[in-house]
Amino acid sequence: MSILRKIIAAGSIAAGALAISTAGLAHDATVTPNGLGDTTSASPDKAHSCFYLSQWQNWHAPNPDVIYLRVRVNDIYRLDLSHPEPMLQDAFAHLISREHGDDSVCGPIDLDLSVSDGEGFRAPIFAKSITRLTPQQIALIPRKDLP
């Protein structure tokens, strides 16, 4: 495990301990710029806030800045990218995910993504946030943009 991942993991553990210790003091809410007209929504079910790469069914990029992932049967996750990747719009693009040990995904640091044009060219993709969408948020996404 790289030093950076160890530092981030330690910070995540400390943040998680702090969150657990103050759980009774604050309302559980998530604020994410979801681009769907509502930037504040209640957190989804904690049991499903993480997923395994093996549960990832499909993906679609409605624009170069966003990827929607279909996970399990009914869950949609939104990945907001740190920089746009126009290759995601190509009809022949392949999204590649590399697994490093445990295949659980609970945050953007857990993803190692790249996009390929199918002819040997690959570009890395860095997610800055990952959000499990609520059924109401999913309903606002045009059908053509769903994975």
Residue 103 lies in a domain: yes
The CA-CA-CA angle for residues 87, 88, 93, to 5°, reads: 80
Residue 8 lies in a domain: no
Render pLDDT for 86-118 as a digit per residue (tens, 0 to 9).
999 998 999 999 988 788 999 999 999 999 988
The whole-angstrom separation of Cα 19 and Cα 48 is 18
Residue 47 lies in a domain: yes
The whole-angstrom separation of Cα 4 and Cα 61 is 29
| Structural domains in the chain (count) | 1
Residue 19 lies in a domain: no
**Confidence band of 18 (pLDDT split at 50, 70, 90):** very low
Residue 90 lies in a domain: yes
Residue 7 lies in a domain: no
The answer to whether residue 34 scores a pLDDT higher than 60 is no
Residue 3 lies in a domain: no
pLDDT at 48: 56
Render pLDDT for 35-78 as a digit per residue (tens, 0 to 9).
444 333 444 454 458 999 999 999 999 999 999 999 998 999 99
Residue 54 lies in a domain: yes
Q: Which domain holds residue 131?
A: 28-145
Element (H, E) at 75: strand 75-81
